[in-house]
Structure 1
Amino acid sequence: MMQKIKIVKKKKPEQQIVIVEGEPLPDHGTCKHYRKSYRWLRFPCCGKLYPCDVCHDENERDHEMKFASRMVCGFCSKEQPFQKSKPCIRCSENVTRVRSSHWEGGKGCRDQTLMSRNDDRKYANSRMKTVSKKHVGQLVIKKKPTNEK
């Protein structure tokens, strides 16, 4: 008869991350679910820090999640009350990426400084925008003659 041999795998201890105020969080507080959120949230249901609600649900299956009341800045690790749209109270960095692809005042949606130089749209209509000084001419401001008596 063959004997079954059990191989026991050692469990790795959970990685404890030490938060030092003034130093950034790992990956500036982002996670695989929300790459544009630079903060960790402290959930009142368990008192633990997680980068997002999905990370909380993956790791804490024994209780239901309550909305976070506090957050930790991903740039300076300052714990503060949860504020959705305001910057950090210590380092003044935005804890969420501020970007918009909406039509902005007739300029369009493309930011030419971020576009690739191989993109034809980066230089579209650039010839129409530049005008030579010779074509425009120079303005000569003449002084009014004053009557001296």
Structure 2
Amino acid sequence: MKTIHNVKIFGPVLDEQTRCTHYHSPTDIIAILFPCCQRFYPCYKCHEEETNHAPVKWKESQFNTEAILCGQCGAKLTIHEYMKNGACLTCKASFNPGCKHHYPIYFEQPTESAEEKRRTL
């Protein structure tokens, strides 16, 4: 655990911008608040390593929650803001565009069936 911008970040964090042992490119500078444990982690792999439970996805109705921490400046973004922008709205630091491939791990997808949603609860 490391405190970055006055927020506790859990997992194997490498630097003061939330990069971790799994993802550490120049644009890997966010941490995500996991709704299941109310802790920020740099990525789902960090969460898997440090907890004894499966991650819970953010529900679409919760996308206005400030659940993304910019590792560059410490600003918190809502899930909507994060998903619609490729950069921090405050400091303009670019985020890794490849992270969108992991959205289904973190965020409920509009096309998910009711059965898929039940499995994530």
Shorter chain as denominator, the TM-score bin is 0.5 to 0.7
RMSD value, Cα: 2.6
- Structure 1 residues 65, 80: closer, same or farther in 2, change over 3 A? same
Q: CA deviation at 1:30?
A: 0.9
Q: Which residue of 1 aligns with 2:50?
A: 59
Structure 1 runs (4+) deviating above 3 angstroms are: none
- Deviation string, structure 1 residues 79-103 (Cα, Å, up to 9, x no partner): 11132452101101112278xxxxx
Larger relative CO (CA 8 A, sep 6+): 1 or 2?
A: 2
Is 2:29 the partner of 1:38?
yes
Percent identity over the alignment is 25
Q: Kindly tell me the number of residue pairs found equivalent between the two proteins.
A: 80
Structure (1 or 2) with the greater strand fraction: 2
Q: Distance in 2 between matches of 1:93 and 1:20?
A: 19
Q: Which residue number corresponds to residue 19 of structure 1?
A: 5
Q: Which runs of 5+ in 2 are unaligned?
A: 8-13, 99-121
TM score, norm. by length of structure 2: 0.55
Aligned equivalents of 2:2, 2:74: Cα separation in 1: 15
TM-score (ref. length: structure 1): 0.46
Give 1 or 2 for the bigger CA radius of gyration. 1
Kept in 2: contact 1:74–1:95 (CA 8 A): no
Q: CA deviation at 1:16?
A: 5.2
C-alpha separation between the residues in 1 aligned to 2:24 and 2:49? Answer: 17
